[in-house]
Structure formats: structure tokens, C-alpha cells
Amino acid sequence: MFWVSLLALGATVQAVPQRGGAGGLSMLRFGCAQSVIDRIDPLVDPGKIPSPHVHQVVGGNAFNASMASTDVSNLASCTTCTFAEDFSNYWTAAVYFRARNGSYKRVPQMPNQQIGNADGGVTVYYTATEKVTAFKPGFRMFSGDAMRQKSAGLGRNMQSCYRCFPGPNFQANTQSPCMDPKIDSEDFPKTPCPGGIRSSVIFPICWDGKNLDSPNHIDHVSPPVGGPASFAVVNGKCPASHPVKIPQVHYEIVWDTRMFANKADWPEDGSQPLVLSNGDTTGYSQHGDYVFGWKGDSLQKAMDGKCFGPSCNGLKTQAFPAANKCTLKSQVSENMDGWLDKLPGQGMSMSGMVF
Ligand SMILES: *[C@@H]1O[C@H](CO)[C@@H](O)[C@H](O)[C@H]1NC(C)=O
Ligand SMILES: *[C@@H]1O[C@H](CO)[C@@H](O)[C@H](O)[C@H]1NC(C)=O
């Protein structure tokens, strides 16, 4: 694996595998602004309003608690993503700050490096180094474990991780995410991060070729033989049960912890103050939900075309002033953003676990 600066995107410090290496790298990297912060989850808790915990959601405006498992590109009329034909939805748990006095405040998101003036949201990657099969309409999947309270034990192949930025302008963003347990952790950073915290979620790269979804939203996809693939290391062989290589989907969310970095506001015992919206104070349970929604064969074209970064020959893009406008109203009306005595949904049972 070669590591070079991400020159194609104008970045100076972020390292990604070399473009056009063996097999030819395709790597879409683009921003999707925030659509909504809401306590619904059409994948894990379809129809439930409210669902147990708050999510931050980006992508097409067909997102709702009971959205159909169909071609969502026909249901949506706009998207918060740079690629204007990408009506997919991408979501994760939200992050809250627990102040010394016990009150909670949601940690907002900020645009990632080189993403421009997106209103928060997620940076999405689709990566391949060989011919891959783009997802089919109705395809959905999940990565992570919302109940996890300890390391998944994957070492340099972590599928969810946090990077602490110790200063402004993405200081310390010198390596690809989730590959070095010395730089990235599966649990929340233990020290203040005055430059923000980047949370990464990586999805499996093999598909059974038949099912658009499965009861746990995981079993129809699989890591390659030998275990989960690191970010952009997608040359693994798929197992016979899941023979179809799909693009590697990867989310990056930059939590804006700048105003939460003052240790005087942290718990007196010195413990770190962040908590996921599902009540997890460790951070291990961060997870990602994916609903595919690219129009027609646009994603297949992008992967076949060896596209790189936020533009691709023949694909329509939009600037953030337009993308930022495609917001949704939350379906649950509750205070999610003020100073709160408890987390939204706290006390509600999540698969038997009450937090
Ligand atoms: C949710 O989306 C479905 C289509 O996927 C639509 O039929 C339904 O009316 C929507 N519900 C709400 C509350 O907007
Ligand atoms: C708790 O602390 C925060 C931050 O210092 C403050 O803004 C908030 O009003 C406090 N909440 C209560 C209930 O005192």
C-alpha cells in the first residue's frame, strides 16, 4: 500500500492510497450536509415514532420512519449530498456532551477537511480497486453494534474509530482512519479535543448477491476472507457465501468539540464527558445505517469510471448552498438540542437494555 497526500482533492495532509495503483482506485469522497436530527430509524425500528435514540441523518429527502424499501431515488426530490443523483440516506447515532452539573448538550457537527461549507453532516466514501457491483434499489445495510461496550478486537482493521484533533485545521490528520490503534481509538478519546473528533464507520465489502436486506441488516453482507477490510484496503477475496464485491462505504463525521474542550466543564473525576445518543459513555457502540438511493446506474458509472473525490465525469453535482437547503423537519417533536436533564429517549427499552 502506498500512502500519498490527497493531492487530487487539494489536501495537504490527509493520506489515502495512491490513485490508479494496481487495479485502479475508484474513490468517491464527498460531503452530505445534515438533513435532520431525529429520533427515528427506518432500518432498525421501521415505523416507530419515536425510536429509542437520536440519529443524525444526511442524504435524500425520502427519509422517514416508514420509508418504503423500494427505489428511493424515485421518492426523493432533493438531497443534501454533493452528487445530486445520490438520494441515499446515511445515518449514525448522535453525540452528547455531559457537563459537570449532569446536563447534556448535543455536540454539533462541522464540515470535514476539504468539504467546504456543508452544514455539518457526513463525509461519504465509496471505494474500489477492481470491478465492483453497485448496490441495487432497495438495498440497505448496517455496520457496528449499538449494544457494544468493549473493543471488537480488530486492531488495525477497526471498523469504527475516533480520532482526536488536538488543534485547528485537522491537526494530526496524517494517516487513514482506523488503522493505527495509537492514533485512533474504538472508544471515545480520553482527553479534550479542541480541534474536533472525527468518527469513522466502515461497511463490509462483500454481498450475497441476492438479498437486499436481512433481519439484522448485516447477514446479507460480509467482510472478505480473513476479516474486515481497513479503509480503502478493498482487494480482499470475497467468501463463497457472499461472492459479489461491492463498493466499500465509509462515513466520517466530525463532531465539533471545540466548545466542549474546557476541562473545568468536565466531570470532576476526570472521566471523559461524551456519550452517544443511545446512552453509551464508552463510544464502542457507534454504528452506521445505510439505505442505497443513487439514481439509475449513476453509482455503477462512477465506480467503473475510476472517479475520485467529489466530481465524476457525467455525474451531476451541486454546491452546498443548494445541498444545505434539502433539510427535513423532525418527525418527533422534542427538545434535542438545548441543555437537557436526560438524553432524548432515556429510560426507553432498546432490545431489552434500558439505559
Ligand atoms: C414516508 O414515506 C413513504 C414512502 O416511502 C410514504 O408513503 C409515507 O407517506 C411517508 N410518511 C410520512 C409521515 O411522511
Ligand atoms: C449545566 O452546565 C451548563 C454548562 O456550564 C450550563 O449551560 C447549564 O445551564 C447548566 N445546567 C443546569 C441545570 O444548571
204-250: pLDDT as tens digits: 999 999 999 999 999 999 999 999 999 999 999 999 999 999 999 99
- DSSP-H helix ranges across the chain: 298-304, 320-323
For atom 13 of ligand 2, which residue has the closest CA?
A: 103
Say if pTM beats, i.e. exceeds, 0.85. yes
127 lines ligand 1 (CB under 6 A): no
Q: Which atom of ligand 1 is nearest to the CA of 68?
A: 5
51 CA from centroid of ligand 1 (Å): 16
**Statement: residue 8 has pLDDT above 90:** no
313 lines ligand 2 (CB under 6 A): no
- Residues of the chain with pLDDT > 90, as a percent, come to 88
Q: Is residue 1 one of the residues assigned to a domain?
A: no
**Statement: residue 351 has pLDDT above 70:** no
Q: Please state, in angstroms and as integers, the Cα–Cα distance from residue 316 to each residue in 84, 245, 307, following that order.
A: 5, 25, 13
**Statement: residue 11 has pLDDT above 70:** no
340 lines ligand 2 (CB under 6 A): no
312-317: long-range contacts, CB 8 A cutoff, minimum separation 24: 312/28, 312/83, 315/83, 315/85, 316/83, 316/84, 316/85, 317/82, 317/83, 317/84
Question: pLDDT tens digits, residue range 333-346?
Answer: 998 889 999 999 98
43-51: long-range contacts, CB 8 A cutoff, minimum separation 24: 43/140, 43/142, 43/217, 43/289, 43/290, 43/291, 44/142, 44/146, 44/217, 44/289, 49/331, 49/332, 50/332, 50/334, 50/344, 50/345, 50/348, 51/345
Q: Would you state the pLDDT for residue 270? A: 86
Average pLDDT, the chain: 91
pLDDT bin (cut points 50, 70, 90) of residue 23 is low
**Statement: residue 6 has pLDDT above 70:** no
15 lines ligand 2 (CB under 6 A): no
Cα–Cα distance for residue pair 300/177, rounded to 1 Å: 25
**Average pLDDT, integer, range 306-319:** 95
Q: How many domains does the chain have?
A: 1
92 CA from centroid of ligand 1 (Å): 21
Q: In 10 A of CB 101, how many CB atoms? A: 8
Q: In 10 A of CB 23, how many CB atoms? A: 13
Q: Would you state the pLDDT for residue 3? A: 32
Q: Would you state the pLDDT for residue 217? A: 98
Q: Would you state the pLDDT for residue 171? A: 86
Q: Would you state the pLDDT for residue 349? A: 54
**Statement: residue 91 has pLDDT above 60:** yes
Q: Please state, in angstroms and as integers, the Cα–Cα distance from residue 184 to each residue in 171, 204, 220, 238, 272, following that order.
A: 14, 19, 28, 27, 16
Note the ligand closest to the C-alpha atom of 331. Answer: 1
**Statement: residue 318 has pLDDT above 50:** yes
Q: Which atom of ligand 1 is nearest to the CA of 70?
A: 5
Contact partners, residue 1, CB within 8 Å, separation at least 6: 17, 233
pLDDT bin (cut points 50, 70, 90) of residue 40 is very high
Q: Is residue 355 one of the residues assigned to a domain?
A: no
72 lines ligand 1 (CB under 6 A): no
Q: Is residue 218 one of the residues assigned to a domain?
A: yes
105 CA from centroid of ligand 2 (Å): 9
105 lines ligand 2 (CB under 6 A): no
**Average pLDDT, integer, range 25-30:** 96
Cα angle, residue 173 at apex, residues 169 and 175 outer, rounded to 5°: 165
SS3 302: helix
Name the nearest CA neighbour of 239 among 225, 257, 258: 225
Question: pLDDT tens digits, residue range 138-179?
Answer: 999 999 999 999 999 999 999 999 999 999 999 878 889 999
339 CA from centroid of ligand 2 (Å): 7
* Type of residue found at 44: V
**Average pLDDT, integer, range 85-94:** 98
For atom 14 of ligand 1, which residue has the closest CA?
A: 64
Give me the residues paired with residue 283 across strands. Answer: none
Residue pair 118/111 in contact by the 8 Å Cβ criterion: yes
93 CA from centroid of ligand 1 (Å): 22
Question: pLDDT tens digits, residue range 272-281?
Answer: 999 999 999 9
Question: Which cell numbers in the block locate residue 65?
Answer: 420512519
Q: Is residue 299 one of the residues assigned to a domain?
A: yes
Q: Is residue 277 one of the residues assigned to a domain?
A: yes
The residue segments making up the domain with residue 72 are 17-332
Q: Please state, in angstroms and as integers, the Cα–Cα distance from residue 232 to each residue in 35, 54, 84, 154, 236, following that order.
A: 27, 29, 24, 16, 11
Q: Is residue 296 one of the residues assigned to a domain?
A: yes
Q: Would you state the pLDDT for residue 1? A: 22
Q: Would you state the pLDDT for residue 89? A: 98
Which of 38, 57, 64 maximizes ligand 1 atoms within 8 Å of its Cβ, making it the mutation to test the pocket? 64
Which of 67, 72, 74, 331 maximizes ligand 1 atoms within 8 Å of its Cβ, making it the mutation to test the pocket? 67
Residue pair 162/187 in contact by the 8 Å Cβ criterion: yes
Note the ligand closest to the C-alpha atom of 47. Answer: 1
Q: Is residue 26 one of the residues assigned to a domain?
A: yes
Q: Which atom of ligand 1 is nearest to the CA of 72?
A: 5
Contact partners, residue 259, CB within 8 Å, separation at least 6: none
Sign of the dihedral through C-alpha 124, 164, 228, 2: positive
**Average pLDDT, integer, range 71-93:** 98
352 CA from centroid of ligand 2 (Å): 31
Cα–Cα distance for residue pair 13/110, rounded to 1 Å: 18
Which of 339, 341, 342 maximizes ligand 2 atoms within 8 Å of its Cβ, making it the mutation to test the pocket? 339
Residue pair 67/75 in contact by the 8 Å Cβ criterion: yes
Q: Is residue 259 one of the residues assigned to a domain?
A: yes
pLDDT bin (cut points 50, 70, 90) of residue 350 is low
